[in-house]
Amino acid sequence: MRTRLFLSLGLVVVLAAGVGFSVWKSGERDVTTSSAAAYSQYEHGLAEARRVRADQAAVHFQRAIELDPSFAMAYLQLWMVGVGSTQELEGYLAQAMAHRAEVSNRERLQIEFLDAAHREESETMESVFDQLVREYPDDPFTLSMRGQKAALALDYDTALLAYERILENDPERVDVHDHLGSIYLQAGRYDEAITSLKRYSFFAPDLPNAHDSLGDAFRLTGRYDEAIAEYSKALETDPTFAASAFQLVDVLCITGQLSQARRTLDTTRDMVASMPRWKGRFEVRELQVLAAARQWQELVKGSDAFIAEVEAEYPGKPHYGLSFHFMKAWAQLELDEPAAADQSAKTALNLANDFLDRNPYIQTLAEELSLAKALLQSHFGRQRGQPKSGIGRLRKAIANSALGPHELIEYRNELALACFEAGDMEAAIEHTSRTLADIPTQPDALLLLSRTLAVLGREDAARDGVRRYLEVMRHADLDYPDLIEARALLRSLNTAS
């Protein structure tokens, strides 16, 4: 069992807290500045930000504020691209707020909305957003925020309509295909997602983000070789494109290529040092590699170190370390330390609940949290030798979830494993088969299905399952734990025949 699922919980929290909103442009010369030269630099910065080239965008926005020190929207964009220390980024947002009385009403509302989102002041955010919708309903910023808020609320139809409206108003906005593809992915509409993201890649072949997004679609649908190829194209186009390096690590962990995953992280270590918003994602991937290698003691130590960093770097925002607490709890269970694991899990759940209380519109987090609680109960039950104890709750949480099939993989695999350990082999087959119906190459499900079939004496089917697994994992490290288990299983099946 991996700990990939806890990555999504942490990212939902970070994104919802105002980090990662899209760059926008509302029209010609539609921002307030006293300098034509500053405006030109601002336009160049937007162009680079649209290409997801944060460093280059930041250079232009910095030049813009040098030319016009009261340029509120340039400060806001500097905060959004996220280059600099935490203190510097907070300073940019503070400057945008300080100059908001000098700009148009539309700009002021946009600044106040993002500031409220960043500070997790949900009532203020909703109030400002209502004003934006009333006064500027067709502004790309309003439509983009409406799309993102709807997606967080699992209202995918509304989210798609918002981005389609942007594209109607400005067909040149090829980056909107990226947003559409992402929402189709969240909704589990995989063919439409891949079509939209291929369109984005076609229109913008020189953008690393276009290849990165298409790689995401391939990764989440189990087309791992194609995902690796797209992430590699993105990094060939721009070796500093950290997002693709991180997603590449995800695929390499799934396919057991941990040595390559570590090398990939090593190449990005210096890159993220100056970008605090990427740092947490880097650290989660470091722990993910340790989890895949089953190095549980190192994972606990790493989690503790990263939790301490979060507390020092983001005082008052301990929920930014949510993923680390969950991963620590999982590792402690694997180390047979149930009391310590229980404390870590309680800390994580309290942080998540507190954040959700202040941001009730984030239905995606509520869904993930409900599932995570059920999953942890199941794992605790298995650790105590009582695998049946968590099956009912986890089965119900999965059945009631509106998340897409790829987001339910880890939960279904845990349910199948609990059924296997409880001796209910037919139920284990049912749940692994459900996963494989959506993602036919999902390796954990393939291996567990093969183990289950072997227990039932269905050797031919078990042998076929192991071979399918070995094909997916053909590039895995030879010492990858699950690969060793799969080969041992195949040997025993061949001997039995």
In 342-377, which positions are buried (b, 16+ CB within 10 angstroms) versus exposed (e)? Answer: eebbebbbebbeebbeebebbbbbbbbbbbbbbbbb
Q: Check residue 28 and give its pLDDT.
A: 38
Q: Check: CATH 2.60.120.10 for 175-360? A: no
Residue type at 189 in one-letter notation? R
The two structure tokens encoding residue 143: 């439509």
Cα–Cα dist 466/474, whole Å: 12
Is 149 buried (19+), middle (13-18) or exposed (0-12) by CB count in 10 A?
A: buried
In this prediction the pTM is 0.86
Domain regions of the chain by residue span: 175-360, 361-496
Give the pLDDT score at 170.
85
The amino acid occupying position 26 is: S
- Residue 16 is predicted with a pLDDT of 41
Average pLDDT on 324-330 reads 93
Query: Looking at per-residue confidence, does 160 or 313 come out higher?
Result: 160
- pLDDT above 60 (res 376): yes
Backbone angles phi, psi at 409, to 5 degrees: -55, -55
* Nearest Cα to Cα of residue 475 among 443, 438, 435, 428: 443
- Give the Cα separation of 297 and 300 in Å (integer): 5
Percent of the chain with pLDDT over 70: 93
Taking only the tens place, the pLDDT of each residue in 63-95 is 999 999 999 999 999 999 888 888 899 999 999
When pLDDT is averaged across residues 122-135 and rounded to a whole number, the result is 94
Q: What span, in angstroms and rounded, lies between the C-alpha atoms of 295 and 287?
A: 9
Query: How large a percentage of the chain has pLDDT more than 90?
Result: 71
Q: Residue 18 — pLDDT band, cuts 50, 70, 90?
A: very low
Task: Looking at mean pLDDT, say which of 6-15, 44-53, 374-383 comes out highest.
Answer: 374-383
- Topology adopted by domain 361-496: 1.25.40
- Is 187 strand, coil or helix? coil
Considering only CA atoms, give the Rg of the chain: 23
**pLDDT per residue as tens digits for the range 21-58:** 344 443 434 799 999 999 999 999 998 887 778 888 99
Q: Which amino acid is at 425?
A: M
CA separation for the pair 142, 169 (Å, rounded): 13
The two tokens of residue 290 are 């340790």
* CA–CA gap between residue 159 and residue 154 (Å, rounded): 9
Q: Decide if 175-360 and 361-496 have a common fold.
A: yes
What does pLDDT average to over the chain? 89
Q: What is the pLDDT of residue 22?
A: 40
Q: What is the pLDDT of residues 438-491, one digit of tens each?
A: 999 999 999 999 999 999 999 999 999 999 999 999 999 999 999 999 999 999
